[in-house]
Structure 1
């Protein structure tokens, strides 16, 4: 059993990660900006006011945690990099820091030509700045996160939606996992399964991974 803090536990990804962790018997703290708005989280979850971009908040929650999950979204481009920097800076202060699991964007994955999906001229402009923000965080972990243990998780770049929990998936690293038809598809529920599997049996330490059917 692990003590898991989920920043952004009220969101689409965070709520499913929280539910999957509870399902497996872990102790879960949901760190959200508005605790009164997440009454739908499973029973037994400790709900606190928390913000992954606040050093004070991270200092309060990190010492007793085994894992910090970052599942934040909906902000400006700098949100994801701010969260990554804050966690790394605070965790470096601790003698036995928890691991970071950072849920990032699928648009940072590489197409068959080795180009990030977010750099495709046809990538939707309305999502490009947030995609660049997620890429900034990944670049930071790869270049500037010495002294901490992290894993960056990318869902499929396009076909990623709420759906069924099947408990099955395949993993990859920097390119999408595709099926026989060339599609990369996954539900939020099965991304949560993949993340909890990674927490319980680490296979991508200080690396990025992706998952799909």
Structure 2
């Protein structure tokens, strides 16, 4: 497949890029960061304003799937709402599937309690978590024309190893017997590339965890 990756230079974007390359997908990377990208060859790298919908649509037009690992600036986390609308509209114009990385805060601890609303949720991460929840509820879940998928990490995502041993769920936070919820960036990337190769969550959100 031809895969376009938005935010390919970020921590998660780099792992997605490496995993996709390992599986021999044809890659087009959109990033503002100068990276060696693991010495990968024959990769097209472009820069684009994520709010420039027409420019994005032009970049997307020959792709089979777009993966967005875009992260909004810490001082304006709600920018991800406008960015997500732009990504969806560009995907619609290009008639391409969109997979976007979301947040863990909107995952369910119980039927009536989201992770971000729990008493132990770190205050420092709340703005981004709340913005991601708004995107899921107000943008993605109201979108019917685009084949979108929103994927949430577990509560704790870290630089680690590719084990290829993890679980997936839709809206419920994945945790182990000790109540710990985690996933490595490497295995998170595996789960995302699995989804493009074997779609199971069209127009849905899902999560990946141990």
| Pairwise same-fold verdict (TM > 0.5) | yes
What is residue 201 of structure 2 aligned with on the other side?
204
What is residue 140 of structure 2 aligned with on the other side?
141
Q: Hey, what's the Cα distance between the residues in 1 that align with 2:184 and 2:119?
A: 26
Superposed displacement of residue 113, structure 1: 5.0
Task: Extract structure 1 runs of 4+ deviating beyond 3 A.
Answer: none
1:121-132 equivalent positions in 2, closer than 5 A: 121-132=119-130
Q: Is the 8 A contact 1:109 1:175 kept in 2?
A: yes
Aligned match for 1:38, one of 35, 38, 60 = 35
**What secondary structure, in the 3-state scheme, does the structure 2 residue paired with 1:106 have?**
coil
Q: Hey, what's the Cα distance between the residues in 2 that align with 1:161 and 1:25?
A: 25
Superposed displacement of residue 148, structure 1: 0.5
What is residue 92 of structure 1 aligned with on the other side?
92
What is residue 167 of structure 1 aligned with on the other side?
164
Q: Hey, what's the Cα distance between the residues in 2 that align with 1:5 and 1:100?
A: 10
Mean Cα displacement is larger for which, 121-130 or 12-21?
Answer: 121-130
Structure 2: unaligned runs, 5 residues or longer? none
What is residue 54 of structure 1 aligned with on the other side?
52
Q: Hey, what's the Cα distance between the residues in 2 that align with 1:147 and 1:56?
A: 17
Q: Is the 8 A contact 2:154 2:173 kept in 1?
A: yes
What is residue 185 of structure 2 aligned with on the other side?
188
Q: Hey, what's the Cα distance between the residues in 2 that align with 1:11 and 1:122?
A: 27
Structure 1: unaligned runs, 5 residues or longer? none
**What secondary structure, in the 3-state scheme, does the structure 2 residue paired with 1:84 have?**
helix
Q: Is the 8 A contact 2:15 2:186 kept in 1?
A: yes
Q: Encode CA deviations 1:55-84: one digit per residue, 9 max, x unaligned.
A: 133122111111111101141222221121
Q: Hey, what's the Cα distance between the residues in 2 that align with 1:28 and 1:102?
A: 16
Superposed displacement of residue 19, structure 1: 0.4
Aligned length: 206
Q: Is the 8 A contact 1:80 1:136 kept in 2?
A: no
Q: Hey, what's the Cα distance between the residues in 2 that align with 1:72 and 1:93?
A: 20
Q: Is the 8 A contact 1:22 1:42 kept in 2?
A: no
Q: Hey, what's the Cα distance between the residues in 2 that align with 1:114 and 1:42?
A: 47
What is residue 14 of structure 2 aligned with on the other side?
15
Q: Is the 8 A contact 2:98 2:148 kept in 1?
A: yes
